[in-house]
Structure 1
């Protein structure tokens, strides 16, 4: 199939980390849920990662993890080498039935970690340099300022009954459904 005619697959992605930036701090776990525009789930990917050599957790982030022990335990279960996990992730992304589009909430944060890990351990990114931000999309749909376009300001009809547990896969699925519901509504306007 010609790349230009492939449909977009929206890869809702959530990261769990031990600090504000990659390199000095590590991505502990991440997950993606791949949806098409009709909200059909085409698969999921999740991995728990070994911490980067020489990295350390940021005190504020480590304090947050101490307050969320179940999420912390999930983010540290059966860690893999980042190189192995990111290579498997690229293989998964490239097997999707369309062009992968990174989707996050907030995209700037999650994409920063995923992109850094992809470039460091694989040398390339199937997402190119771009990511779609759910909060920015909410700003446009709600016609509100960016900082007022929080989840609490969003209509309940945009949310499916899915958990937001700070476990990467749960959050990727929840955010992906949210994005698809917003996309559907935006296309009806």
Structure 2
């Protein structure tokens, strides 16, 4: 069961009322060479300017992005091609990232190939070091840029480092 590190950029706090603007996914493996990037046209007229600004895009730019149903279909096909069986969703902030990916998959495709659960990267690290006040972010190599593929790659690097530190995890 491969781990898929995911990062989402959105123009507001919740899916449905607001829109997922872009997302990135990286298969967690030693070379981190397989990734997916999607840019999605907004599904709502509502947006929070400060939230959208984090993505680096303007509202006018996002209105030119791809149809969300098509993007989610491509992501589903990519997962099927690269991850036979069920993939495991993991992210830095799975409470945020998961809600958008889950909602978009169910809304546009009627299913979520990740199933009904996700893994929080920060919680894995806290358990590994047995300290709920510790943060994993120093384990990233790729700079956190708010481009979702960069951010997913940096988080995947951190997960690989956690494995080296003794986290019992496998993805074969």
- Scaled by the length of structure 1, what TM-score is found? 0.79
CA shift, 1:139, in A, is 1.1
Two-structure CA RMSD over aligned residues (Å): 2.2
Alpha-carbon distance, 1:97 to partner: 4.1
| Structure 2 spans left out of the alignment, 5+ residues | none
Q: Does 1:51 align with 2:36?
A: no
In the alignment, structure 1 residue 143 sits paired with structure 2 residue 123 = no
Kindly indicate which of the two structures has a greater share of residues assigned to helix. 1
8 Å contact 2:11–2:51 — kept in the other structure? no
Rg: which structure is higher? Answer: 1
| Alpha-carbon distance in structure 2 between the residues aligned to 1:86 and 1:65 | 20
CA contact (8 A) 2:94 2:120 kept: yes
Which residues of structure 1 form unaligned runs of 5+?
1-7
Counterparts of 1:1-189 in structure 2 under 5 Å? Answer: 8-36=1-29, 39-41=30-32, 43-52=34-43, 54-58=44-48, 62-66=49-53, 68=54, 71-73=55-57, 76=61, 79-98=65-84, 99-145=86-132, 148-151=133-136, 156=138, 158-160=139-141, 162-185=142-165, 186-187=167-168
Aligned residues: 165
Q: Tell me the CA shift for residue 151 of structure 1.
A: 3.9
- Please state whether the residue corresponding to 1:33 is helix, strand or coil: strand
